Amino acid sequence: MHIPDGYLGPATYGTMYAVTIPFWAIASWKLNRTLKARQAPYLAIGAAFTFVIMMFNIPVIGGTTGHATGATLVAILLGPWAAVIAVSVALIIQALLFGDGGITAIGANCFNMAVAGVFIGYGIYRIIAAGTGPQSSRKIVAGAIAAYISLNASALLAAVQLGLQPLLEKSPSGQPFYAPFPLSVTVPAMALEHLFLFGFVEAAVTALVIKYFQKNDPQMLG
């Protein structure tokens, strides 16, 4: 789901930077008002967690791989604005140091996973888990469902951005200028593997870690 350089045209990657930068600004402003110095280690661990969980590539029929992102989990534990920052920094470092995701696509990749992934996951979790105590098993179910939907939403966004390229960016002869596959290819390809496998991995990881916090550190679950 880390879109590389060369796949999105300037119109798309420029737009995605323009959409994502305000979220970074608001997140910084929110944390500047509310964050306490003693919470810094938890943010660092949250960022480390999303980084490492994305290293677990899982093969799927058809010869490709995918992974969880931990975006929903980090949002549940640290709040959505802290999660936007934690997941974004992980994605930016992955692009800059390891070429995992393009630098032109940082805006798009951060929007898909660190903004949309975070807020969709967090919103669904809050709705399903509303009114539950720290030890409620509904929190685990809520986290799992939210994580499943969140990862699928991130994948769908990436698929749509890729699939729009042949419509938006053509050479004079009419050939695709950037990512060459239409929506009718990108959306099913990415949606199916996330609906049938990676979404469940994200759900399981989220549920397990919520269970861990219920047992060991329930105050993190508010």
Partner 1 sequence: MKEIRYENGEGKRDKSIRKLWIGIGILVVLSPLGIIIPAYFGAGGAWGEWSLDQIEKIAGFVPEGMKRTARVWKAPMTNYAVPGQGQGPTHSGIGYVLTVVIGIAVTAGIVYLLAKILARKNGTANRM
| Min dist. Cβ of residue 184 to partner 1 (A) | 14
Amino acid, res. 152: N
What sign has the CA pseudo-torsion 200, 201, 202, 204? positive
175 part of the interface to partner 1, by CB under 8 A: yes
Name residue 100's beta-bridge partners.
Answer: none
Question: Is there a contact between 128 and 146 (Cβ–Cβ < 8 Å)?
Answer: yes
DSSP conformational letter for 221: G
Q: Does 135 bind partner 1 (CB under 8 A)?
A: no
Contact range with partner 1 by CB under 8 A, out of 14-22, 32-40, 126-134, 141-149: 32-40
Out of 18, 93, 127, 167, the residue judged to bind partner 1 by CB under 8 A: 93
The DSSP line for 27-82 is HHHHHHHH--GGGHHHHHHHHHHHHHHTT--EEETTTEEE----HHHHHHHH-HHH
Amino acid identity at 51: F
Taking the complex as a whole, how short is the minimal distance between the CB of residue 18 and partner 1, in angstroms? 18
Of the pair 50, 150, the CB lying nearest partner 1 is at 50
Q: Which of 69, 186, 206, 214 binds partner 1 (CB under 8 A)?
A: 186
Q: Does 15 bind partner 1 (CB under 8 A)?
A: no
Q: Does 4 participate in binding partner 1 (rule CB under 8 A)? A: yes
Q: Does 1 bind partner 1 (CB under 8 A)?
A: yes
- Report the half-sphere exposure of 66 (CA within 13 A, side-chain side): 24
Please list every residue from 50 through 89 that binds partner 1, using CB under 8 A: 51-53, 55-60, 62-67, 78-79, 82, 85-86, 89
Q: Does 96 bind partner 1 (CB under 8 A)?
A: yes
By beta-carbon proximity to partner 1, the closer residue of 89 and 142 is 89
Size of the site for partner 1 (CB under 8 A): 79
Rounded to whole angstroms, the Cα distance separating 128 from 69 reads 21
Beta carbon nearer to partner 1, 145 or 178: 178
Single-letter residue type at 18 = A
- Contacting range for partner 1; rule: CB under 8 A; set: 29-37, 121-129, 132-140, 146-154: 29-37
Strand partners, 161: none
**Residue 62 or residue 131: which is nearer to partner 1 going by CB?**
62
Residue 79, token pair as written in the block: 């709040």
Helix (H, G, I), strand (E, B) or coil at 120: helix
Stretch 104-133 residues interacting with partner 1 (CB under 8 A): 104
